[in-house]
A and B are shown apart, each in its own frame.
Chain A
Amino acid sequence: MTAILRLEDLAIGLPPGADRSHAVAGLSLEIAPDEVVCLVGESGSGKSLTAHAVMGLLPKGLPVSGRIHFEGRDVLTLPERERRRLRGARMAMIFQEPMAALHPIMRIGDQIAEVFRFHGRPDRGGTRVLDLLESVGLPDPPLIRRARPFELSGGQRQRAMIAMALALDPVLLIADEPTTALDVTTQAQILALLRTIRARRAMAMLLITHDIGVVAEMADRVAVMHEGRLVESGPAEAVLGRPAHAYTRRLLAAVPRLAPRPHRGEALGETVLSADRIAKRYATRGGVLRPRRVVQAVADASFALRRGETLGIVGESGSGKSTLARILVRLLGADAGTVRLAGVEGNLLALGGRRLKPVRRRIQMVFQDPFASLNPRRKVHQIVAQGLLAHGVDPGTARQRVDELLRLVGLDPAAAERFPNEFSGGQRQRIGIARALALEPEVLVADEPVSALDVSIQAQVLALLAEIRDELALAMLFITHDLRVAAQLCDRVAVMRRGEIVEIGATADVLFAPRHEYTRLLLASVPGRARFDGA
C-alpha cells in the first residue's frame, strides 16, 4: 500500500540564539492510509513542530527543508492557495486545548458550517452539521449546535473540535496532544471515539503525544523523537515490547507501572496527622440576574497519616483534592472539621496567628507549577532560606543549611547564587522541595508535584521524594490525578469525587481490588493498561 503521507529528510531550523540549530533534523516517516502513527517525545523534541509543518502552520521565519509528500504531491512546493485547499478538506488537525482552538463566542454549529462554506460546499439545510455532531457522540445535537464553547464541558468541546476536523472527510487527521488537557475518564472516551472514527472512515491518523499510555492504547506504529531526531520507529508491539534504542528504553523505563507494591505497614511510625470530617463550600456571590451557586468542594473528608507513610489523594479536576491540601496547610479556611497534629493541643484548623506560626513549620508544601512557585526576582538561596530567616535562624547558619539542602535534593550548591529562570522545570521542582524541607517538617503536602514534568524528569523527582521520605521519616500527602504515579509512590490511596472520599485503603487494595464503582471507572480509564501493564 502506498503511503498517504511521506516525510523525507524533513528539517526545521530555529532562529539564531536558540539552544540548538534545528528543531527537527533529518526526519523521515511514512503513514499508510488507515494507519495510526504515534509520534512520541518529551517537550522540546520537535514533535509538535513536525505536525505543524505538515499542516503548513509553522510560525513565519522558520526555515523548512526536505520533502512532505501528501497524496503524491510535495506540499512544500505548492503555492499557499493550493495548500489552503488541502487544509481542512484533505488533512485536518485537532489541538490540545479545545477552548483555545474554538472561537470563544461563536455558536458551535456556525463554526462547523464555516468549514463547509470556506471549501465551497455550504451546508444549506444544516443536516450535515447535525450528522457530524451525532457521529462524535455529542448528546442532543440540535442543542449543541446552538451552544457556544464556554457552555460545553472540556470533553464536549474536544468532540466538537473533532466534528469540525471530520467535516470534509479528510484522509489524514493530525491530533496534537488531543487528550492532555482532559481528565482521565474523559480522555478514555475521546480515545475510544478516535478509534471508532478511524475504524469507520479508513482514515490515517498522526497522533502526537508525550503519554506512553496513550501510545500503547492507540498506535499501530510508533515513532520516537528525541531532540529533533527520529531515534526509533516501527510497529507498536516491537517498539513498546522490545525497544532497540537506548533513549526509547529509558523513556519506557521511566513510565510508572500500574503494579501493586508491597505494603510497608510495619515499617511505619505512629500517627502524626489526623483529619476528621473536613468540609468546605464555595459560594459565588449572587447577582441581580444570577442565582447564588454553591459548590461543596470538600465534604466530610477523614483520614490519618503515619510517620514515614505516603497517602495518595487521587481524583479528577474539581474533585476537591487541591482544596483539601490547602486546608491542611492552612492556606484556606475550612467550614467544619478537625485536624490534629501530634504534640499540638486542640484543632489545627482553629489555631490563631501566634499559636499557628510554630506549628506551620511542621507541615510544608510542594507546589504543582515549577514556574509559578518560585519568585522570579529572588535568588535560589533567598528562596530556600526564607523560612529559616523568618524563624530567626542567623544568616550564616541559614546559608550553610541552604547548601546542605541543595545537595540533599541533588543540586550543586553553586546553584544558590542563580535566579530561578536559569533552571529547567525538574531542577526548579527540586528547589521547591528544598524550600519545603528547610524547616524540617514532619508532614509534606505535595500537590501534583510531577504533573508539569516530562516523564523522565518525573521519574527522577518521584525517586527523590521517596528517598527523602524514607531518610527523614516524613509523612507525605501526595495529591495526583495520575493513578500510575500514585501506585508507584503511595502506601495508601484515597479516591475523591465531588469533594467526597469514596474509597480509602492500602494501595494494593484500592487500585487492584477496587470496591467502589468510581474507582473501577478511573482504573479502566488509565490508557494503555492492556498492552503496557498486562492487566
Chain B
Amino acid sequence: MTFRQGFAHNRGALAGLAVLIGVVVLAAAAPVLFPFDPWDSRGAPLLPPGGAFAFGTDMLGRDVIAGIFHGARVSLFIGVVSTLFAVALGVVIGAVSGYFGGAVDDVLMRFTELFQTVPSFVLAVLLVAILTPGLASIVLAIAVVTWPPVARLARSEFLTLRHREFVEAAVLSGVSTPRIILVELLPNALTPIVIMASLMVATAILTESALSFLGLGDPNHISWGYMIGAARAVFRQAWWLSVFPGLAIFLTVLAINLVGEGLTDALNPHLRRRGATP
C-alpha cells in the first residue's frame, strides 16, 4: 500500500485535511479580504451576527470575522513553529541518549524527567510572564514544555535501532558516529516522530489559546484565545464573541488530530508491504 492510498483509506483524515487546508486558506487570505488592522474599531459595539458584519462586532466595535481570519495566522504559526523547535530539541536529546546509552542516557533522562514532573501549563505561564508576552516567548514556552515526550520516543526508537545489524555493519565499515545517527538511524526512527509531531501541533494551538485567554498573548497579534478571553465579561449578552473563535479552535484542533490519525494509518509499519520473501 502506498502512502497516499493508506491515507486516503481513512475518511476522517481526508475530512480533516480539507478543514486544515481551509484554515490555511483563511490565514493566507486574511490581509486580502480584511486589509485593515483587526484591532481597529469598524462599527457600533456588540452588533449581532448578520448584517454588515457576518460574525458581529465586539464591545469595542471590532469586526469578529476579521479577528478569526487574522487569528488563524497566529494559531498556525505558533502551532507549527513551536512544534518544530520541540521536535528538534527532543530528537537531539533522545537520539544522543538512546545511541550512547549508559551515563549519558542517565543524565539526559533525569534532565527530561525534571521537565516532565513540573506541571507543563504552569511552567508555560511562568515562562511567558517572565519573558514578557510576545510571539517569540510563547513559541519558546510551548517548545520548552512539549519536548520531553518527543525525547522519550526518539530515545526508545534509537535504543532498538542501535543494535540492529545494519547499524553494526556501518560501525564496522568505519562510518562516523554523527553520520550513523543522521543517515542510518534517523530516517528509520522518523515515522513515529512525525505522527507525534502532527498531534503536538494541535496541543500547541490549544496551549497558545489558553495563554492568550489568560491575557498572556502577544499584544500585537490578535488570536482566537485572546478573543474568547476578552468575551467572557459579556458572555451572556454576546454569545457570538466566544462561540465563533471557540468553533475555530475546535475545528482546527480536530482537523489536525484527524490528519495525525491518517498519518498513523499511512505510515504504520504493520500495514506497510513487506519485501518479497525468499
A424 touches B174 (CB 8 A): no
Beyond A364-B173, A372-B166, A390-B174, 9 additional pairs, beta carbon < 8 A: A43-B277, A365-B168, A372-B164, A373-B165, A373-B169, A387-B172, A390-B173, A422-B276, A425-B277
In this assembly, does A357 line the interface, its C-beta being within 8 Å of a C-beta of chain B? yes
- Chain A residues with CB under 8 A of B275: 371, 376, 420-423
A365 touches B175 (CB 8 A): no
B165 touches A367 (CB 8 A): yes
Residue on B with the closest CB to A368? B165
In this assembly, does B278 line the interface, its C-beta being within 8 Å of a C-beta of chain A? yes
Taking the closest CB of chain B, its distance from the CB of A415, in whole angstroms, is 14
Shortest Cβ-Cβ A-B pairs, 10 listed: A421-B275, A387-B173, A425-B278, A373-B165, A367-B165, A424-B278, A390-B174, A375-B166, A377-B187, A390-B175
- Chain B residues with CB under 8 A of A163: none
In this assembly, does B184 line the interface, its C-beta being within 8 Å of a C-beta of chain A? yes
B278 touches A426 (CB 8 A): yes
- Chain A residues with CB under 8 A of B166: 372-375, 383
A423 touches B174 (CB 8 A): no
Main SS of the interface on chain B? helix
In this assembly, does A269 line the interface, its C-beta being within 8 Å of a C-beta of chain B? no
Tell me the complex Cα distance, A383–B275, Å: 17
- Chain A residues with CB under 8 A of B276: 19, 421-424
Within 8 A of A (CB), among B172-205: 172-176, 179, 183-184, 187-188
- Chain B residues with CB under 8 A of A43: 277-278
Which range holds the interface residue count of chain A? 35 or more
Residue on A with the closest CB to B278? A425
Tell me the complex Cα distance, A365–B173, Å: 9
> Knowing A387-B175, A391-B174 touch, does A369 contact B277 (C-beta < 8 A)?
no
User: Max chain B CB contacts within 10 Å: which of A326, A361, A387, A422?
Assistant: A387
Residue on B with the closest CB to A439? B173
10 A/B residue pairs, CB under 8 Å, sorted by A: A43-B277, A361-B173, A368-B165, A371-B275, A376-B188, A386-B173, A387-B173, A420-B275, A423-B275, A438-B173
- Chain A residues with CB under 8 A of B169: 365, 367, 373, 432, 435-436
B174 touches A360 (CB 8 A): yes
Tell me the complex Cα distance, A376–B185, Å: 11
In this assembly, does B171 line the interface, its C-beta being within 8 Å of a C-beta of chain A? yes
In this assembly, does B274 line the interface, its C-beta being within 8 Å of a C-beta of chain A? yes
Contact residue among B174, B179, B188, B277 (Cβ-Cβ distance under 8 Å from A375):
B188
Residue on A with the closest CB to B179? A390
- Chain A residues with CB under 8 A of B183: 378
In this assembly, does B28 line the interface, its C-beta being within 8 Å of a C-beta of chain A? no
Taking the closest CB of chain B, its distance from the CB of A497, in whole angstroms, is 25
In this assembly, does A475 line the interface, its C-beta being within 8 Å of a C-beta of chain B? no
Contact residue among B172, B179, B187, B274 (Cβ-Cβ distance under 8 Å from A421):
B274
